[in-house]
Structure 1
């Protein structure tokens, strides 16, 4: 069984929330702060990567 890579979302806010996006099958909602110097943050539960739109071309 292969596992799909984590989802990457381009956002326009430096504060984001993630709940896994699957309703009852998701995870507890967490609020994340995107560091301005990096421009991205990963959810500690589902590994979804949130990239601020100003860093979309440079985020690793």
Structure 2
């Protein structure tokens, strides 16, 4: 059995909401603030990575 890699999303806002994206199987909705220096934030529940569009080419790692 393999583990699915965390999702990476390019967004245009520095404030994002994450709920796991799987309906009832997701997690509680949390609001995350993208660091304006790093350009990304990771969800503490599902490890999804949100990258601001201005940093898409820099923060993809």
The answer, yes or no, to whether TM exceeds 0.5 is yes
- For the aligned residue pairs, the C-alpha RMSD in angstroms reads 0.5
TM-score (norm: length of structure 1): 0.97
Q: State the 1:9 CA deviation.
A: 0.1
Structure 1 stretches of at least 4 aligned residues deviating more than 3 Å after TM superposition: none
Partner of 1:30: 30
TM-score (norm: length of structure 2): 0.96
Measure the CA separation in 2 of the matches of 1:46 and 1:33.
16
Aligned residues, how many?
A: 60
- Where structure 2 has 5 or more consecutive residues not aligned to the other structure, the ranges are none
1:1-60 pair list within 5 angstroms: 1-59=1-59, 60=61
